[in-house]
Amino acid sequence: MPVETWRWQKVEDESRWVFAAYNFLEIRTPVLEHTDLFARSVGVDTDIVTKEMYTFQDRDNDLLTLRPEATASVVRAYIEHSLYNEGGVHKLYYMGPMFRRERPQKGRYRQFSQIGAEVLGSDHPAIDAEVLEMLVLLLERLGLKDFALLINSVGCPACRHEYLKKLGQALDNVKGNMCEDCRRRAGTNPLRVFDCKVEADQPIIEKLPHILDYLCPECLQHFESVKAELGQREIKFAIEPRLVRGLDYYTRTTFEITSGALGAQNALLGGGRYDGLSEMLGGPPTPGFGFAIGEDRLVLAVEQAAHFKPEPIAAFIVWMSHEALLPAVTLARELRRQNMSAEILYDAMKMKKSMGLASKFNARFAIIIGENELASGRYQVKDMGTGQQEEVEISRVAAYLSDALKKL
Ligand code: HAM
């Protein structure tokens, strides 16, 4: 609804500004993709792929899915359009609707929007830190204060192999007391046990071994460097060793930012590194790092934290007699052509009602045109903020308004 949309626009405008400041370019990928793309990247044992995707068979028997996230699509497009041939680092951002068949509640919807970004082509830990720095800047510009950054490392396939063996052994002893999903995951993809939301399983999950204790020297060094880079950038964070995220493509750094302004669904955004994803999708080895913000949640958090107001219109034009209508229309057109917003209504009405509408539309100025004004060649310009009224020569009204708006 319009009363909410301006807040969404504000969030999107600030995001675009921040993305431009860090030299990200926009990519627009389709809402529909082949189902196989998500099965291969997000992972066949994840909640997203097993329970939440909107999938259907097309007339030619293709299996298609409404995208549940966009990282897979961005990497697919990167490969399909051979962006890797250009060399260097590609910094891409996107905004748009995603679809997951989850149980709806405040902050969790079946169609939701994400604002996300991906950096392809570098595994430098400074990339991880710089992207987090960018996110902190965005949240601060939106007036958010009560947020926390949680980070972890999920290692690489080499160190994860060792860890998964240990995790599997630990699960063998306890999985009998866990939910059905966890029992299945213990056999197919033990890391996914950490995605479990069943209350009774949480004390068991708390005691499982942590991947951080099994990182190989290279992954440990990468994680140490990310932490040092965050320190240099004065970014506060906490380490959360259970943060493995609900998607299979992650390697090394994973992170989430939670917001105190949200309720149960407090994950404002999440992301991490996915150095093997391009190869998994048939592309050349290409390290990647990115995030997605839940825009619905960001808007909710901004609503709590900041007092944004919609842009007021510059002028509400009031015409008081039939003869004044055409001059009023002419003035409205002139103001709009000179980059000032204006409103004019076409039903005749009393002065009091017109001024009431000028306030309702949050106009900065009301311009009054009646018989006297036409006779004197000077319109009344009323500053709706101060209540002060001035007579301004018709030919100077646009310039007068433009100057006055600059001074506000
Ligand atoms: P994700 O954690 O699945 O990551 O989603 C990112 C954010 O989207 C969440 O933190 C949350 O704010 C929002 N979100 C997820 N599901 C819903 C929902 N049903 N309703 C409302 N908001 C929701 C990803 O999607 C990864 N692609 C992020 C990424 C990019 N990793 C690397 N690059």
Which atom of ligand 1 sits closest to the CA of residue 271?
31
Q: Which of 142, 96, 74 is nearest to 300 (CA)?
A: 142
Which atom of ligand 1 sits closest to the CA of residue 273?
32
Q: Alpha-carbon distance 121 to 379, whole Å? A: 61
Confidence of residue 3 (pLDDT cuts 50, 70, 90): confident
Q: What is the pLDDT of residues 145-172, one digit of tens each?
A: 999 999 999 999 999 999 999 999 999 9
User: Separation of 121 CA from ligand 1 center, angstroms?
Assistant: 22
pLDDT at 303: 86
- 181 touches ligand 1 (CB under 6 Å): no
pLDDT at 308: 76
Choose between 4 and 36: higher pLDDT. Answer: 36
Residue 263, judged by CB atoms within 10 A of its CB (0-12, 13-18, 19+), counts as: exposed
Q: How would you write the chain as a 3-class SS string?
A: CHHHHHHHHHHHHHHHHHHHHCCCEECCCCCEEEHHHHHHHCCCCCHHHHHHCEEEECCCCCEEEECCCCHHHHHHHHHHCCHHHHCCCEEEEEEEEEECCCCCECCECCEEEEEEEEEECCCCHHHHHHHHHHHHHHHHHCCCCCEEEEEEECCCHHHHHHHHHHHHHHHHHHHHHCCHHHHHHHHHCHHHHHHCCCHHHHHHHHCCCCHHHHCCHHHHHHHHHHHHHHHHCCCCCEECCCCCCCCCCCEEEEEEEEECCCCCCCEEEEEEECCCHHHHCCCCCCCEEEEEEEHHHHHHHHHHHCCCCCCCCCEEEEECCHHHHHHHHHHHHHHHHCCCCEEECCCCCCHHHHHHHHHHCCCCEEEEECHHHHHHCEEEEEECCCCCEEEEEHHHHHHHHHHHHHHC
Query: Taking the mean position of all CA atoms in its chain, how far away is CA 22?
Result: 16
Q: Which of 368, 367, 407, 362 is nearest to 385 (CA)?
A: 362
pLDDT at 264: 87
- 190 touches ligand 1 (CB under 6 Å): no
- 291 touches ligand 1 (CB under 6 Å): yes
Confidence of residue 307 (pLDDT cuts 50, 70, 90): confident
Question: Residue 298 in contact with residue 135, Cβ under 8 Å?
Answer: no
Confidence of residue 328 (pLDDT cuts 50, 70, 90): very high
Residue 218's φ and ψ, nearest 5 degrees, are -65, -45
- 343 touches ligand 1 (CB under 6 Å): no
Confidence of residue 265 (pLDDT cuts 50, 70, 90): confident
User: Separation of 269 CA from ligand 1 center, angstroms?
Assistant: 6
Q: Which of 8, 29, 69, 266 should be mutated for ligand 1, with most atoms under 8 A from CB?
A: 69
Which atom of ligand 1 sits closest to the CA of residue 256?
10
Instruction: For ligand 1, atom 25, name the residue with the nearest CA.
Output: 69
User: Separation of 41 CA from ligand 1 center, angstroms?
Assistant: 15
Place of tokens 């994840």: 46
Confidence of residue 222 (pLDDT cuts 50, 70, 90): very high
- 286 touches ligand 1 (CB under 6 Å): no
Residue type, 343: E
Q: Which of 305, 332, 306 is nearest to 318 (CA)?
A: 332
Average pLDDT along the chain: 96
Residue 355, judged by CB atoms within 10 A of its CB (0-12, 13-18, 19+), counts as: middle
Q: What is the pLDDT of residues 11-56, one digit of tens each?
A: 999 999 999 999 999 999 999 999 999 999 999 999 999 999 999 9
Q: Whole-prediction pTM value?
A: 0.93
Q: What is the pLDDT of residues 267-299, one digit of tens each?
A: 999 999 999 999 999 999 999 999 999 999 999
Q: What percent of the chain has pLDDT over 90?
A: 94
User: Separation of 137 CA from ligand 1 center, angstroms?
Assistant: 19
Task: Kindly give the pairing relationship between strand 147-153 and strand 238-239.
Answer: parallel
Residue type, 18: V
Place of tokens 């964070």: 237
Task: Kindly give the pairing relationship between strand 111-120 and strand 342-344.
Answer: unpaired
- 268 touches ligand 1 (CB under 6 Å): yes
Q: Please report how many Cα atoms fall inside a 13 Å half-sphere around the Cα of residue 108, on the Cβ side.
A: 12
